[in-house]
Amino acid sequence: MDSADQREDMMDLARRALAHCLNQTTDTTETIMTMPIEAYTDEKRYQAERNRIFSSLPIAGALSIELPRPGNYKTISILEKPLLLVRGDDGKARAFLNVCRHRGARICEAEEGVVKKFSCPYHSWVYDLQGNLTSRYAANTFGDLDHSSLGLTPLGCEEEAGIIWLTLDSSEQIDMKKWLGGMHEKLASLDLGNWHLFKKRELEGPGWKVTMDGYLEIYHHNTVHGRTVGQHTIGNLLVLDTHGPHQRLTLGRKSLKSLETLPEEDWEPLEHIRLVHNCFPNLSISGILGDHCLVSLVFPGPTADITRTIQYTLASDVPETETELEAAENFSAMVLQAVQDEDYRLGLLIQDGIKAGANTQFLYGKNEPAVQNYHRWIDHFMRQEKDFSWDLAADQG
């Protein structure tokens, strides 16, 4: 998307958001949607959905900027699988199970670092940055082995739009452009690979669906986020574009109504709208204050009532001056409060409420179209074989 097309895209979003602001409306679906409470509580269903959605489909596993140069690596556990992500000598990001092929020891225990090779701490089997087994301690006494069949176990891993995407049950190459569809161009326009990683933290949250529901609706902003992000946005105003299971949410900032009397050639649309990009099933990217960005990767836990979120706060450039550092710190503190102290605190109370037995079903309002779309795609992938070829011409937006 060139700059002219990108500006027109933002102008269109601003027009749609302004119309909602003036009419006190929002994007809606045709009907209220219901969901049996078992979708949130039944452990057998949860395990089936977790394994299908998060193992066989591509998920966001890391940011490209976490592996800036060859030899940079990070370790992470997803769905109780220990993973090792590394940028090879050829510049390509790869993912492996963080398990030695000799006797299953953890190859790398540190969370991140820079290496020229990996050496198993148990018996010093050595692997290169491409995962190949290159040497073994005392190999002459151990016995002959075919090294080519004993490299680290690879996983599907592709880098696209500044994100490292993984498939946990396969080593097959992922066609990310096909998977992202119309969202690919929108993600690429964010240029995430050139942001600065200011801060990274891990948050414990409520169950997977409770957590993701909160990322996908604006209905709660006034009541829950009045002291943080809600100070800047108009509650219950949403412009939604969907691309298969992926979604771009556009919110109106409090200044949006000022565009009513301003000639369009003078509009700066990004000063009056806020964008949230959500890639199914676990990625949320929120550009809140211009030069700062929040990226959240949500991973379901071993049971239906817990998740782990890797939260990144990014700055468009390395903050160097006192003013820039203060702005980055303030942004990071605000999003931590909004997510941990507001969204997740309330989500954990919802989790307790689910267990109380008060509800036999949940309701998703007509004004919560992104939540409805997310749950429909869960149902879709539980019924269908892995198929990324939804009709892109039918995408909204």
Among the ranges given (2-6, 324-328, 332-336), the one the predictor scored with the smallest mean pLDDT: 2-6
Residue 373, pLDDT above cutoff 90: yes
Distance CA 263, CA 338 (A): 35
Q: Does domain 59-173 have CATH number 3.60.15.10?
A: no
Looking at residue 232, its pLDDT comes to 82
Q: Name the percent of the chain lying above pLDDT 90.
A: 88
Q: Are 371 and 219 in contact (CB under 8 A)?
A: no
For residue 396, pLDDT over 50 is answered with: no
Q: Where are the alpha helices (DSSP H) in the chain?
A: 3-23, 38-41, 43-55, 139-142, 176-180, 183-188, 208-215, 221-224, 322-336, 345-356, 369-383
Please give the C-alpha separations between residue 128 and each of 70, 92, 122, 135, 147, in angstroms, as whole numbers.
Answer: 11, 13, 17, 9, 12
- What is the average pLDDT across 94-120? 97
The reported pLDDT for the residue numbered 387 is 62
pLDDT in tens, 42-77: 999 999 999 999 999 999 999 999 999 999 999 999
The mean pLDDT value for 378-396 works out to 66
- Residue located via tokens 């997740």: 344
Q: Is pLDDT at 394 greater than 50 in this prediction? A: no
Given this model, what pLDDT does residue 253 score? 94
Q: Is the pLDDT of residue 374 over 90?
A: yes
Cβ atoms of 277 and 186 closer than 8 Å:
yes
The superfamily in CATH containing domain 3-57+182-387 is Naphthalene 1,2-dioxygenase Alpha Subunit; Chain A, domain 1 (3.90.380.10)
CA-wise closest residue to 273 among 287, 292, 293, 291: 287
pTM score: 0.94
- Dump pLDDT digits (tens) for 174-184: 899 999 999 99
Confidence tier at 390 by pLDDT (50, 70, 90): low
Average pLDDT value for residue range 14-21: 98
- Compute the distance between CA of residue 350 and CA of residue 224 in angstroms, rounded to an integer: 13
Q: Which of 50-59, 96-105, 131-140, 386-395 has the lowest mean pLDDT?
A: 386-395
Contacts of 97 (CB under 8 A, 6+ apart): 81, 82, 83, 84, 152, 153, 155
Question: Looking at the predicted structure, is the pLDDT value of residue 168 above 60?
Answer: yes
> Hey, how many other C-beta atoms are within 10 angstroms of the C-beta on 322?
8
59-173 shares the fold of 3-57+182-387: no
Give the model's pLDDT for residue 393.
41
Among 22-31, 141-150, 227-236, 262-271, whose mean pLDDT is lowest?
227-236
The domains of the chain are located at: 3-57+182-387, 59-173
Average pLDDT of the chain to the nearest whole number = 94
